[in-house]
């Protein structure tokens, strides 16, 4: 990526930090196979953490108002995302399901996926990621309600620590009518498969 992240750390300093971690792990960073590793890692960071360069709310400011009176729930399910936990800098891999109840504004569905990515491509905790996505949609679209459910596995749990694979964590944030009205909430959960017990 060409855009510079909002930081005063130079690329050289970042690459040097990678060399330090390699030495800490017991490696020799001057070994041939590792020579380009710092450069690659820094480049990968540009991708994994590109969310710091984005303003996810921006994606929602272009809305489509012509919906011919459509005032039912809009749900985008199974939005795959990759994030990193802020405690171990380890990957969080999961899916987000996003729903909202439009009042008079709807957005192109790809925009909801971009909002998810904008927050996921940062250091995160899953609860915060869930809440940030919901808040962003609420504040920018002003719908009657927003629902976000995230189902993700945390590599800091599967590859280290307790070493438990196949465990996923589910978090949800319900705002407005999804929080206040059990039927709306149930309809959303059925749409995304949780109410039926399948995914
Ligand atoms: Zn972690």
pLDDT in tens, the chain (199 residues): 446 667 889 999 999 999 999 999 999 999 999 999 999 999 999 999 999 999 999 999 887 766 667 778 999 999 999 999 999 999 999 999 999 999 878 888 899 999 999 999 999 999 999 999 999 999 999 999 999 999 999 999 999 888 888 899 999 999 999 999 999 999 999 999 875 544 4
163 CA to middle of ligand 1, Å? 12
- Please state whether 169 falls in left (phi above 0), alpha (psi between -120 and 50) or beta: beta
Model-wide pTM > 0.85: yes
Q: Which DSSP string corresponds to 35-68?
A: TTHHHHHHHHHHHHTGGGG--GGGGGSS-B---T
Helix (H, G, I), strand (E, B) or coil at 73: coil
H or E element at residue 141 = helix 126-141
Catalytic residue check, 190: no
Q: Maximum distance among all alpha carbons in the chain?
A: 65
Catalytic residue check, 4: no
3 CA to middle of ligand 1, Å? 28
Catalytic residue check, 97: no
How many CB atoms are located within 10 Å of the residue 57 CB? 15
Among 12, 16, 72, 86, the active-site one is: 86
Catalytic residue check, 124: no
Supply 122's token pair. Answer: 């940062």
The C-alpha angle 143, 168, 135, rounded to 5 degrees, equals: 20
Digit-coded pLDDT (tens) for 20-71: 999 999 999 999 999 999 999 999 999 999 999 999 999 998 877 666 677 7
Supply 133's token pair. Answer: 């996505």
């Amino acid at each position: 990526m060409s855009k510079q992240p909002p930081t005063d750390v130079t690329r050289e300093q970042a690459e040097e930090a990678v060399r330090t971690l390699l030495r800490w792990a017991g490696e020799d960073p001057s070994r041939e196979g590792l020579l380009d590793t710092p450069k690659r890692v820094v480049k990968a960071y540009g991708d994994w953490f590109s969310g710091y360069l984005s303003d996810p709310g921006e994606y929602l400011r272009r809305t489509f108002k012509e919906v011919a009176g459509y005032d039912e729930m809009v749900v985008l399910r199974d939005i795959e995302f990759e994030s990193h936990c802020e405690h171990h800098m380890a990957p969080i891999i999961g899916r987000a399901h996003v729903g909202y109840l439009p009042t008079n504004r709807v957005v192109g569905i790809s925009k909801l996926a971009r909002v998810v990515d904008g927050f996921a491509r940062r250091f995160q905790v899953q609860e915060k990621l869930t809440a940030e996505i919901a808040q962003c949609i609420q504040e920018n679209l002003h719908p009657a309600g927003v629902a976000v459910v995230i189902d993700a596995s945390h590599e800091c749990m599967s590859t280290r620590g307790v070493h438990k694979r196949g465990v996923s964590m589910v978090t949800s944030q319900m705002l407005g009518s999804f929080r206040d009205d059990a039927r709306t909430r149930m309809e959303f959960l059925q749409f995304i498969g949780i109410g039926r017990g399948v995914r």
